[in-house]
């Protein structure tokens, strides 16, 4: 099985769905990583690990490290430039040309013969415009590809008692909720690859906990998926679902 995961920035793949991707790779799926930007607009660490001009290069290496830890088959960048955060923490999409982005993603679906596309959710998790854009292009790409019909899932779907509802897609009900504890060490190692983002990873959870937390402490063991295409009612039954359920049942 070929899995294509398409995401906006380095670290999205690990924070939002790293355990799921590691499970799929361990079950024998070829997981292809497609990142829209090199994260040039993000944080550079506390204290900074590089200049802002060097950030894209450094985060490229961080993502390559994370993909290796998660068992990825390959990594491709679309080379869009991640905009800097604006005043009052204003966030921006990385392109206005949704049609071109859709064609690029559709081309990659064909190139890797993707059986499944996994991407951001319809709310962009916490409303990030780049995440919303990525979801829109991913969905349009799946709908536009002739001759093949990949399943389209999004990550960080909402479910009761979600451990971090702020980053859950409120309009995407979870069809699969996975305990990724068997591959949690891999997910932690992938998170540790993203050294420039460590301060960002722990900032909110540390504030909530009232104490300083470490990166391994904030890596979540529960992940969730919503299937958008083809639409389904209730729990989906398809090859991806069965592959993950087989793993959880110890059949893999």
Residues 6+ away with beta carbon under 8 Å from 237: none
pLDDT cut 90: percent of the chain above it = 88
Distance (Å, whole) CA 245 – CA 242: 5
- Average confidence (pLDDT) over 33-52: 97
CA quadruple 223, 229, 235, 237: dihedral sign: negative
- Average confidence (pLDDT) over 237-250: 74
- Average confidence (pLDDT) over 239-244: 83
**What are 205's two structure tokens?**
């959870």
Span of 6-15, 158-167, 205-214, 235-244 with lowest mean pLDDT: 235-244
For residue 119, what is the domain's CATH number?
3.40.50.10320
Mean pLDDT of the chain: 95
CA quadruple 101, 103, 107, 109: dihedral sign: positive
Distance (Å, whole) CA 202 – CA 184: 17
Q: Is 147 left (phi over 0), alpha (psi -120 to 50) or beta?
A: left
Under DSSP, the state recorded for 16 is: H
- For the cut 80, the answer to whether the pLDDT of residue 102 exceeds it is yes
pLDDT tier for residue 252 given thresholds of 50, 70 and 90: very low
Under DSSP, the state recorded for 216 is: H
Helix axes 55-69 and 184-193, enclosed angle (nearest 10): 170
By residue range, what is the domain housing residue 211? 2-248
Adjacent-strand bridge partners of 154: 119, 226
Distance (Å, whole) CA 84 – CA 190: 24
pTM tops 0.85, yes or no? yes
Q: How many domains does the chain have?
A: 1
């Amino acid at each position: 099985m070929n899995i294509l995961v398409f995401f906006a920035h380095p670290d999205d793949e690990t924070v939002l769905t790293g355990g799921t991707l590691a499970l799929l790779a361990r079950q024998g799926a070829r997981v292809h990583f497609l990142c829209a930007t090199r994260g040039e607009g993000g944080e550079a660490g506390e204290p900074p690990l590089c200049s802002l001009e060097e950030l894209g290069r450094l985060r490229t290496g961080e993502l390559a490290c994370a993909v290796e830890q998660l068992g990825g088959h390959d990594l491709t960048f679309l080379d869009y430039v991640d905009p800097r955060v604006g005043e009052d923490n204003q966030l921006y999409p990385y392109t206005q040309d949704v049609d071109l982005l859709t064609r690029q993603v559709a081309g990659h679906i064909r190139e890797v013969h993707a059986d499944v596309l996994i991407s951001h959710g319809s709310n962009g998790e916490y409303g990030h415009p780049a995440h919303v854009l990525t979801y829109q292009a991913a969905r349009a790409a799946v709908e536009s590809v002739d001759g093949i019909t990949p399943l389209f899932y999004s990550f960080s779907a909402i479910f009761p008692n979600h451990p971090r509802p702020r980053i859950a897609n409120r309009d995407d009900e979870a069809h699969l909720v996975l305990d990724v504890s068997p591959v949690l060490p891999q997910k932690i190692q992938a998170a540790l690859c993203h050294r420039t983002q460590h301060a960002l990873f722990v900032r909110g959870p540390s504030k909530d906990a009232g104490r300083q937390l470490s990166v391994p402490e904030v890596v979540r063991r529960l992940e969730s998926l919503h299937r958008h295409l083809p639409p389904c009612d209730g729990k989906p039954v398809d090859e991806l679902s069965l592959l993950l359920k087989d793993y959880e049942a110890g059949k893999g």
